[in-house]
Chain A
Amino acid sequence: MLIIKNLKASVNGKEILKGIDLEIGAGEVHGIMGPNGSGKSTLASVLSGKPGYEVSGEATYKGKNLLELPPEERAAEGLFLAFQYPVEIPGVSIINFLKTCINEIRQYRKTGPIPPKEFLSLIREKQELLQLDTNFINRPVNEGFSGGEKKRNEIFQMAVLEPALSILDETDSGLDIDALKIVSNGVNAMRTGNRSFLVITHYQRLLQYIVPDFIHVLSNGKIVKSGRKELALELEEKGYDWVREGRRQETGNRGK
């Protein structure tokens, strides 16, 4: 699904990602953990095509050079980013926003606009999945939302757009335990077939609900350790200092 080789990114000459190698197969869930400032969000931004970075290295997604595509084409190819800090867009209702997105994606895929009935039942289904009240979709995107509402809205959008590869950037932060369960449910409901996930988190808590196949530790712009899901617990116990300065280590088998 996604193959990243020696990916580097800098902003204004400051190198933030210093050579990332990562391979995510179809249907796999990968967790990325790491201390604040290690470059987790930068990795998510670069993969989804945020302008403003000088990028080198390779990222191949479904056989295409991801780095060459504008963000909207990455999305149309099935990539999704749940933002750590979702942006408020006053004056644009969630429902109109999603309808426009779906239709633009369908235009890219040459499938024609979504029939209104189909759209409404899709929205209703996902609203139920995320336990959102009916008025939610008429609100302007993220405007005045609580932290938890914003995160739930990200996962709602993901559920509606049904991406092939989703990157979740600290979706757990700001969520209480009930919200966390709802959000994880939403994600797990989509863990079918070939969908893949890259779950970025600072704490291992989220990974108890969204159980990953692999975990990678990012520190200072590099993946310093990769392993199976047990790595999360080990990290929680020993702290990030344990891996911070080390070279990349592998524990367990990469599998597949």
Chain B
Amino acid sequence: MIDITMNNELKNKFLTIFPNLLNSFPAEPNYVKESRLKAIDALAAVPFPSSKDESWKYSLIQPLLVNTYSLPGNNFPSVKTSPPPVIHPGHFPDGALINGYYCIDGIGAGTENNFMLKSLSVAAGKNDGMLTSSFSVNGNADHSFFSHLNTAFWQDGIYIEIPCGKKTTKPVEINIISQGERILSQPRIFINSAKNSHAEIHIYFYGSDEGNSFTNLVQNIHLDENAFLNLVLFRSKDDNDILLNSTEVQQETGSHFISHIITLNGKWTRNVINVSLLGKESRAELFGLYTPSGDQFTDNRTRIEHRAPNASSNEFYKGVMDGKSTAIFNGKIFVGRDAQKTNAFQSNKNLLLSDRAVVFSKPELQIYADDVKCTHGSATGSLDEDALFYLRSRGMKYETAKKILVQAFAGDIVAGVGSESLKNEILSLIAGKFNS
């Protein structure tokens, strides 16, 4: 075990242990090794985040710095032979990662043949063409410190492929679990939606019971022509973990991507999603919901790049905030010169249940094409007193009325979750969270 403190020294420590680490992946194909080397070079050139960086300006960085984390020093990658904790009784996930290690037991037997799911290190060993391009740092990562860190040091992860023309009959479920105290884990997920495929994937994050662990997750998603993918990223456990998640999405012609990034709880969360609409008539819909309370922190950053004509993007992010929580929404829309007839919409709405909660909402538009329809809006307010009174005047207790209004506010964000049971779970968790 190597102890690492998340500060400016972190980088140097990582750089020092890197040669050792590289030797501990003897079986890795060259293209993966090369991507690690490139990421190390990139990492060397990027400073540790500070509030001087534009993208960290309003973020609470302090919680990142206070702990010393344990990092597995050698003998990885390795697999986890103990099964993951049971999260939904009577039902196994299709894939699970514990502290970044792939679980081989206690996961769904893979009864469906309309998708393929395996350990990322196993998949990478096959030298798959799609993985090769995804591993190139410059082609596919968001150039941030933590993405480089993940690319250089990822332990293992999950590779999912929905083959050409296949359709999953139920959501593919992945659990990302952290166990133990002050563990730094760096899992990686690749999703490859082949042409004309259709899938819903749920990724659940469960922080550690012991607390103060740090998960630095990176996801690479590719939608080939006319593929459809509905991705749900869900964090609901009230834990003290730090979760950093960067999702890179690339879309080809006619593909349709939907994301639901839902953060109901957890001490510190930063969700970054970057979508590149590379093919014409591609479509991205990004939904986000964050409900921090107490001193929880959520940071949602989206970047949509319109690189092809006749593509559309819709973004709806909503926050319900209580206590002295802090939230950030930063939405960038970039429309390239060739992306004529772009349709881009963005909306961020925040409901403040406490006057000590703080939200920073910032749209950023960069438009270089001239035939573009782009609208954005942002609104922040408290509970509608007239609506509260209306409900109470019909016999509803104050708590019930408040619960109903919060659920109604959040309802349209989760409406597009394909799974009814997850939708209801989310809504009842929200109601339970704000019932006092």
Listed in ascending order, the chain A residues whose CB lies under 8 Å from chain B are: 48-52, 70-72, 74-76, 80-81, 83, 86-92, 97-98, 100-102, 104-105, 108, 140, 157, 161
Contact = CB atoms under 8 A, between A and B. Distances in A.
Interface residues of B, number: 23
Contacts of B400: 100, 104
B383 to A, nearest CB: 12
A72 B398 CA distance: 8
A105 B390 contact: no
Nearest to A45: B389
A13 B52 CA distance: 49
A110 to B, nearest CB: 14
Contact of B395 (A50, A83, A91, A105): A105
15 contacts: A50-B389, A51-B385, A70-B392, A72-B397, A74-B393, A75-B394, A76-B395, A80-B394, A81-B393, A83-B390, A83-B393, A89-B390, A91-B411, A100-B396, A100-B400
B405 interface: yes
Contact of B396 (A74, A83, A101, A157): A101
A71 B404 contact: no
Given A100-B404, A105-B395, A86 B409 contact: no
B396 A89 contact: no
Contacts of B390: 83, 86-87, 89
A139 to B, nearest CB: 13
A75 B395 contact: yes
Contacts of B397: 72, 104
Nearest to A108: B395
B371 interface: no
Interface of B: 384-387, 389-398, 400-401, 404-405, 407-409, 411-412
B411 A71 contact: no
Contacts of A97: 391, 394, 404
A157 B400 CA distance: 18
Given A72-B398, A104-B400, A91 B393 contact: no
Contacts of A49: 392-393
B414 to A, nearest CB: 11
Nearest to A103: B395
What are the nearest 8 A-B pairs in CB distance? A91-B408, A75-B395, A105-B395, A87-B390, A71-B392, A101-B394, A91-B411, A101-B395
Contact of A51 (B387, B389, B396, B401): B389
A72 B408 CA distance: 20
Nearest to A86: B390
A90 B408 contact: yes
B316 to A, nearest CB: 13
Contacts of B391: 89, 97, 101
Given A86-B390, A100-B400, A100-B404, A161 B412 contact: no
B387 A89 contact: yes
> Counting chain A CB atoms within 10 Å of each CB, which of B384, B386, B394, B398 scores highest?
B394
A71 B393 CA distance: 5
Given A80-B393, A100-B396, 7 more contacts: A72-B401, A76-B395, A87-B389, A89-B390, A91-B408, A92-B408, A97-B404
B393 A104 contact: no
Given A89-B408, A100-B400, A75 B393 contact: yes
Contacts of B389: 50-51, 71, 87
A88 B391 CA distance: 11
B398 A70 contact: yes
Nearest to B386: A87
A81 B409 CA distance: 25
A161 B407 CA distance: 24
A87 B395 CA distance: 15
A74 B393 CA distance: 8
A91 B407 contact: yes
B384 A87 contact: yes
Contacts of B394: 75, 80, 97-98, 101, 157, 161
Contacts of A71: 389, 392-393
Contacts of B384: 87
B388 to A, nearest CB: 9
Contacts of A74: 393
A122 B240 CA distance: 49
Contacts of B409: 91
A87 B398 contact: no
B395 A89 contact: no
A65 to B, nearest CB: 18
A49 B394 CA distance: 11
A48 B396 contact: no
Nearest to B409: A91
Contacts of A105: 395
A51 B387 CA distance: 12
A104 B395 contact: yes
